[in-house]
Amino acid sequence: MLLRIPALLTPDEVRHCRQALEAASWQDGKATAGHVAAQVKSNLQLPLDSKTGQQIGDLILDRLGRNPLFMSAALPLKVLPPRFNRYEGGGTYGNHIDNAFFTIPGTAIKVRTDVSTTVFFSNPEEYEGGELIVEDTFGQQSVKLAAGDAIVYPGTSLHRVNPVTRGTRYASFFWTHSLVKSAEQRRLLFDLDQSIQQLTQEQPEHPRVAALSGTYHNLLRMWSES
């Protein structure tokens, strides 16, 4: 499932974050790439211990925790602190699948990369190229969203970032360790949850609301690994 989350951050929040990102010190993105990924990666990233990255990352996580669409789709158990990249001057990241696990910096806690998320900090008209291309069972999708929007997709997906030939593309990326490992099961739970919410809004006294809600939670209980 590929899901857009519109306006995760407000225009004022995006503006503040952009100013901080533009003033930050960046390093070669290969520093955090594995052997295979390093062969196709050409971008800049904030160091993992960057104070700017930590502050903006905390803001992103706070907004995600309040976003019912993300919570319903990702069913988060653990979230890796957001990272940040910058593409310009032909920068690109070729086809790859992310590592299955990452360790939260400074801890021994491992995060399984069930769900990938990208938050955009540049508007599409600010740069040429830079599309996030995601390939999975749903086909190939080209993603280039407004600043402040986020895209959520399975961590198992083959994906790439096309070369940025004009301007600069700023974004955040991170992974969620979901309560439910299976992407297919997460999709079923998401669809059921959205249907329950719609029914609750349209017919809050409908007798099937409680039954459907019970079915949702029983499935979550059955499929959850926590």
Which segments are annotated as binding site for Fe cation?
96, 98, 159
- Binding residues, by number, are 96, 98, 159, 169
DSSP 122-182: S-GGGEEE--EEEEETTEEEEE---TT-EEEEETT-EEEE--EEEEEEEEEEEEEEESS--
Counting Cα atoms < 13 Å in the Cβ hemisphere of 187 gives 11
- As a whole number of angstroms, the distance between CA 29 and CA 27 comes to 6
- Virtual torsion, Cα 11, 87, 2, 72, nearest 10 deg: -50
- As a whole number of angstroms, the distance between CA 20 and CA 102 comes to 26
- Virtual torsion, Cα 113, 98, 55, 126, nearest 10 deg: -130
- Binding residues for 2-oxoglutarate, by number, are 169
